[in-house]
Amino acid sequence: MGNLIPVVVALGAVALAYTLFTNPLSKIPGPLSARFSRIWMVQHSRAGDMHTTMIELHKKYGKLVRTAPNEVSISDPAAIKTIYGAGSKFRKSGWYSVWQGHRTFDLFGERDEKVHGKQRRLVSNIYSLDQLKKMEPYVDSTLTLFLERLGEVGKKGAVDMGKWAQMFAFDVIGEVTFSRRFGFLAAGKDDGSFSAINSALHSAAWIGQTPWLYWLHDFFMPYIGNYLGVNNRNGSLRQFAARECDERKGRGSDHHDMLRALMDVKEQKPEEFDDNGVLSMAASNIFAGSDTTGISIGAVLYNLCKNPTCKEKLLKEIGEVMQNEGLSPMENIPFKVGHAMPYLQACIYEALRMHPAVGMSLPRVVPQEGFEIEGVFLPAGTIIGANPWVIHRQKEIFGEDCDVFRPERWLKGDRSQMDRNFFAFGSGSRTCIGRNLSWIEMTKLVPSLLMRFDIELAHPKDKPEQHCWWFVKREGLDMKLTPYIQKIDSPVLA
Ligand code: HEM
């Protein structure tokens, strides 16, 4: 035993010397502990502060930050095209395997670009703007219920807008996908799914940093149970999706919802798209499309409340549009009308720039030939990624005042650079497939809500708490709602 100690010490010294001096990543600055193990990543992913921590680290160290022995975070917008652009050879890292699990059809988690490309082509038309515009009546019916319910609960006191926006987004997804809401708005609460999803997100965020742990846990799960909680995403909402798919198989449908469109693809291409594919897409609508949209709606409303001048400007635009279009405050704004409102659109872009729903790096693997960036050669297999929160705070792209909410930046001058680097929905071949749906929802909800109610933060001096477990959620977004009908000085009714 005594003879082993010097051997272990010597091996340790060699490993340390390699990590500190010879490893090609040793030139890249970053937190000291991140050079030796992935514990730094695990700690911050668990703590839920990755979005703000990475902004600070890039301010301190520059365009490259080493976040683990073989992982680098980048803030260089020029590299985004190479890493994420169409035809990129940088595939998704093992982090995503934790989300994919054993599913063979999983657009978000699939790491083989060829398989992904084939699968995405099967369904992409369903998510095109032209197809999704046909879903507007489904969004409208849920929006009408949302506004009615806010009128009722708003009378009793402050409304947790983060939670109500989340319930709206879930019910819309239920309606457009299955022609059936989850019933959260009607009940004024969820069925326990939100905390199950939160716990799945929390565990996946950090376990994804050590995927081997997930697969070990997966192997032992029949004996130890779902100890890490990652698979909680297979809870009541996935069962809801599975039940709806099963029922639909039996009876078909005259509803032109997304499930019907997915089943049409299955009928046309049964070899490539089977029942698993249908369920996977229907369930991913729920998991990828609800929290994200709820968070983004919350971000628009929060920033408008925090910046009353912007809110007034938007109200003026809404008032003019209502007059020109002959709309009553009791109607919902049609998407076509909202889409043509420049200030509204600028407010949505700016809120998603300030608060992108995803707050962690979108990790990719350096391909066989390696990758040179900022004079450093990254060997094949290095994990590299950009965090939307970091990219959106780049002064050379978004301006010196990029820490401030200023929708006007999207309206004046050439915005092509900002558009190219708008990273809230990712980029390239793996960009968000549901972006159009969430844009329809936001474009309709924000002005329709502001036409009916004056909104204010209930506790303007408090900073709402945020935690980043992949998604960055704001807690306690309490707002006071005053129906305009009670206000004689309403800017929209003036
Ligand atoms: C404001 C709302 C939304 C935001 C901010 C958002 C954000 C994102 C981001 C950042 C990605 C890229 C992830 C990566 O590269 O790792 C992504 C992918 C994805 N999103 Fe969204 N999303 C939103 C709404 C939706 C909706 C409404 C749906 C479905 C109805 C959806 C379904 C998906 C799917 C399936 C993927 C994987 C796409 C692929 O790899 O081919 N998302 N989303």
pLDDT, tens digit (0-9, with 9 covering 90-100), for 441-490: 999 999 999 999 999 999 999 888 999 999 999 988 999 999 986 554 55
Residue 234 has pLDDT above 60, yes or no: no
Q: Which atom of ligand 1 is nearest to the CA of 363?
A: 16
Q: Which atom of ligand 1 is nearest to the CA of 176?
A: 30
Average pLDDT value for residue range 273-291 = 93
What are the tens digits of pLDDT across the range 144-198?
Answer: 999 999 999 999 999 999 999 999 999 999 999 999 999 999 999 998 888 888 8
Q: Is the dihedral of CA 89, 92, 93, 94 positive or negative?
A: negative
Task: Supply 331's token pair.
Answer: 């109607």
Backbone angles phi, psi at 170, to 5 degrees: -65, -45
Arithmetic mean of pLDDT, 110-132: 96
Ligand 1 atom nearest the C-alpha of 119 is 41
**Per-residue pLDDT reduced to its tens digit, 75-113:** 998 888 899 998 899 999 999 999 888 889 999 999 999
Which residues approach ligand 1 with their CB closer than 6 A?
107-108, 120, 284-285, 288-289, 292-293, 296, 357-358, 362, 424-426, 430, 432-434, 437-438
Helix (H, G, I), strand (E, B) or coil at 97: helix
Q: What ipTM is given for this predicted complex?
A: 0.98
Query: Is the predicted pLDDT of residue 494 greater than 60, yes or no?
Result: no
What b/e string do you get for 22-57 counting C-beta neighbours within 10 Å, with b at 16 or more? ebebbebebbeebbeebebbbbbbbebbbbebbbeb
Average pLDDT of the segment spanning 323-341: 93
pLDDT for 230 equals 61
> What is the reported pLDDT for 145?
98
Question: Looking at ligand 1, which residue's alpha carbon is closest to its atom 16?
Answer: 362
Q: In this structure, which residue's CA is closest to atom 21 in ligand 1?
A: 432
Assign 17 a pLDDT band (cuts: 50, 70, 90): low
If one compares 485 and 295, the residue with the highest pLDDT of the two is: 295
Lookup: tokens for 309: 């001048």
What is the percentage of the chain residues whose pLDDT exceeds 70? 93
Checking if the pLDDT of 15 tops 90, the result is: no
The chain-wide mean pLDDT, for the chain, equals 91
